[in-house]
């Protein structure tokens, strides 16, 4: 038996999230069936996260144990020959026998893209949030620094979460306008863990600050309140990408 870690990327617009759901197309169900077809054995797969419906991934990590003799370096090619066009494997390497893609994760980085343009672009329809009003990325970046540090992020967690400990440490956070396409504004955040819809609420809060619906410098007070109603709206899933997984 060997334990592998496979890295995939996917366009989440055609999936109802990662986790298997009855009669719904999910990333786990599609990848798992493809893996079984390649390995010729049914092995349980462990994902690094539970991305929601419509959320994308530039890097998503999956671990599994197998007795199959397929060489590790050839597995991405074998998988890609059978995977649908909206999922692709791009790396594979052996890991310790007790490795778990989710529980051994030390942190993640998410990316959120905003198409900041007066006119919408159909090619970004499912891959970025269209926001037609002007955005000052320098202002937003300055405000976003208040997310840094260790805090109880209850105000940035959607209802329905069963997580009791909502303390997370944000180690990096920033907003910039991309030079190769100035219409795109990028929000990135790295933390040791994330709550349900946390990144999308962070973005929604920044957008409401930009619109003057929340005062400048209000993020520390919102965090201290632990009150979801104090934070901004939850931004759409289409702009969110799981960008990096840290081990």
Could you say which DSSP state residue 234 is in? P
Specify whether 52 is catalytic. Answer: yes
Give, in order, the Cα–Cα distances in Å from 95 to each of 67, 92, 104, 112, 247.
14, 10, 11, 30, 11
Catalytic residue among 37, 52, 162, 180: 52
Residues in contact with 200: Cβ distance below 8 Å, sequence separation at least 6, in sequence order: 112, 234, 235, 236, 237, 240
Phi, psi of 244, deg, nearest 5: -145, 150
Give, in order, the Cα–Cα distances in Å from 135 to each of 123, 130, 185, 196, 207.
21, 12, 8, 26, 8
Q: Which residue has the tokens 């937003």?
A: 140
Catalytic residues: 52
């Amino acid at each position: 038996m060997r334990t592998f870690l496979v890295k995939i990327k996917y366009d989440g617009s055609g999936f109802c999230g990662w986790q298997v759901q009855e009669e719904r197309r999910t990333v786990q169900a599609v990848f798992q069936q493809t893996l079984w077809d390649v390995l010729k054995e049914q092995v349980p797969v462990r994902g690094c996260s539970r991305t929601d419906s419509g959320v994308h991934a530039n890097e998503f990590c999956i671990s599994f144990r197998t007795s199959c003799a397929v060489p590790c370096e050839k597995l991405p090619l074998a998988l890609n020959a059978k995977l649908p066009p909206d999922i692709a494997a791009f790396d594979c390497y052996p890991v310790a026998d007790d490795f778990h893609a989710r529980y051994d994760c030390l942190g993640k980085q998410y990316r959120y893209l905003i198409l900041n343009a007066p006119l919408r672009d159909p090619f970004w329809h499912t891959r970025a949030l269209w926001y037609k009003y002007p955005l000052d990325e320098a202002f937003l970046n300055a405000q976003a620094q208040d997310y840094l540090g260790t805090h109880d992020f209850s105000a940035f967690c959607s209802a329905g979460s069963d997580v009791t400990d909502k303390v997370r440490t944000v180690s990096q956070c920033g907003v910039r306008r991309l030079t190769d396409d100035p219409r795109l504004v990028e929000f990135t955040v790295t933390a040791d863990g994330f709550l349900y819809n946390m990144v999308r609420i962070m973005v929604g809060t920044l957008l409401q600050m930009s619109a003057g619906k929340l005062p400048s410098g209000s993020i520390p007070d919102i965090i201290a309140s632990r009150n979801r109603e104090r934070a901004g709206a939850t931004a759409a899933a289409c702009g969110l990408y799981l960008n990096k997984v840290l081990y």
